[in-house]
Amino acid sequence: MKMNKIFKTHLALLSLPVCLLTLLLGANVWAAVNDAVNPALRPPKGAQVAIVVFEDLQCPQCRRVAPILEQASKTYKIPLVRHDFPLPMHNWSYDAAVMARYFDSTSKEIGNEFRDYIFANQLEINPQNLRGYADRFASGHKVDFPFVVDPQGKFAAEVNTDRDVGRAIKLEHTPTVYIVSSRHPDKPYVEMKDASQLYALIDAMMKD
C-alpha cells in the first residue's frame, strides 16, 4: 500500500510542468539551505538584508570599523546587528560587554550608545577605571546604574551566548562582519574582509 502511494507520488511529480517542478525543487533547496544556516547569519525579522558584526569592545580594529558600519546601516536603511565576542586576551572587554547588556535592558539604542562611548574612550579605559566611565555614561543618560550590575548572572549569560554563537561559526578574529540576505538561498551571507568592500558587498546582496 505504501509503495503504491510512493509510486503515484512520483508519477504525479513527473506529470508536472517542468517550470513548476523546478519551482518545487528550488523551494526544497531553499528550505534545506535555510535550515543549515546559523540563525545569527540571517537578517532579523522584517528585513531582507542586514549587517552582522561580532565585536570586542577592547579591540582597536573594532573601534575603527564601528562608525563605518553604522554609517552604512543608515545609508542603506538596513539593520546593524551587533554581537558581543570578548576575546580572552583582553582584560576588561568582558566586563564592558556585560555592562552594555545592562544598558540594553533599558533600550537597545542606549546599549549601542554605550558601546560607541566605550569605543570613543577605549584608549583611556583600563580595568580600574571602567566602572567610572560606565557611571558617567549612566549619569549622562539618566539611567540608574547599580553597584552590582549583574547579581544573577543574566547579562553575563547573554554575552556567553553570543560568544558561543561566534565559536559555533568558527570566528577567528574581531571584528568579524557579515552581510546577510534572505534574497540569495545559495549564498545567504558573505564575510567582509576589508572595510573598503562594505558598500559593494551590500549592493551585491541587495540584488535579486
> Bigger pLDDT: 115 or 187?
115
Query: What is the pLDDT at residue 185?
Result: 84
Average pLDDT over residues 63-81: 98
Mean pLDDT of 163-190: 93
Q: Is the pLDDT of residue 16 over 50?
A: no
Give dist(CA 89, CA 203) in Å, integer. 35
CA distance readout (Å), 29 to 20, 132, 153, 161, 184: 14, 53, 41, 29, 12
Provide φ and ψ at 122, rounded to 5°.
Answer: -55, -40
* pLDDT range class, residue 12, cuts 50, 70, 90: very low
Query: Residue 28: pLDDT band by 50, 70, 90 thresholds?
Result: very low
Quickly state the pLDDT bin for 172 (edges 50, 70, 90): confident
pTM above 0.85, yes or no: no
Give residue 10's pLDDT: 42
Question: Residue 184 — very low, low, confident or very high, per pLDDT cuts 50/70/90?
Answer: confident
Mean per-residue pLDDT for 104-132? Answer: 98
Closest CA to 171 of 183, 158, 181, 162: 162
Q: Which of 52, 19, 57, 20 is nearest to 38 (CA)?
A: 52
Q: How far apart are CA 90 and CA 178, in angstroms?
A: 23
Whether residue 175 is preceded by a cis peptide bond, meaning omega within 30 degrees of 0, is yes
- Read off the amino acid at residue 56: D
**Mean pLDDT confidence for 117-139:** 98
Residue 134 has pLDDT above 70, yes or no: yes
Which residue, among 185, 180, 190, 183, has the nearest Cα to 26 in the 3D structure?
185
Closest to 202 in 3D by CA, of 82, 102, 75, 13 = 75
pLDDT of residue 36: 63
The percentage of residues in the chain with a pLDDT greater than 90, rounded to a whole number, is 78
In this predicted model, what pLDDT tens digit does every residue of 33-47 receive, in sequence order?
Answer: 344 679 999 999 999
